[in-house]
Amino acid sequence: MRYSLVRVADPSDRQLYHAIRRSSLWEERGRTGYDDARPEELFPNHHSLLLKLDEAGIGTTRLDDLGNGTGIVRLVAITAPIRRNGHGRVLDARVANYARALGLCRLFVSAAADAEGFYSSTGWVRLTRAAPALLGQAEGFVPMTKSIAG
């Protein structure tokens, strides 16, 4: 098995990126109204990332570089048929490496409450101080942070 994490640029990768997010984070949760044309998806400091396994897209996230050595990991998703097989751990590690290459040393995530165990097992901790305003606050989500300093 060969993994790669790519910044979405190719139109077919962008289509797959949105399809995974729409299915995993909206439709499976009974939500509607996913918008793949949101302008923030194209901001230069927002990195839309696609995890591939043997060239097939299996997971997504977006890494927002806040410009101060920190970043926010958003909307993490692994396709349903292959969840709970370690791919999320691979995505987490690859995103941390990608963020380090950008010069980031701390990441934040607003984790769904039912995913807190996963995040805790990969080195994330509940935030005990103020979260960056851009992280946002929503009911049912847990603000978490992770140091990725080399």
Per-residue pLDDT averaged across 64-68, rounded?
95
- For residue 106, give Cα distances in angstroms to 54, 84, 114, 128: 29, 26, 23, 14
- 3-147 CATH: 3.40.630.30
C-alpha to C-alpha distance for 105 and 69, rounded to whole angstroms: 6
Structure tokens at 33: 């109204």
The per-residue pLDDT for 126 is 93
What is the average pLDDT score of the chain?
Answer: 91
Q: Which residue has the higher pLDDT, 99 or 141?
A: 99
| DSSP 8-state code for residue 132 | P
Phi/psi at 36 (nearest 5 deg)? -85, 5
pLDDT tens digit sequence for 106-130? 999 999 888 899 999 999 999 887 7
Per-residue pLDDT averaged across 1-12, rounded?
94
pLDDT tens digit sequence for 15-58? 999 999 999 988 988 889 999 999 999 999 999 999 999 999 99
The per-residue pLDDT for 118 is 93
Q: pLDDT category, 132, cuts 50, 70, 90? A: confident
Strand partners, 65: 71
pLDDT higher than threshold 80 for residue 74:
yes
Phi/psi at 109 (nearest 5 deg)? -150, 145
For the chain, how big is the Rg over CA atoms in Å? Answer: 14
The pTM for the full model equals: 0.91
The per-residue pLDDT for 16 is 96
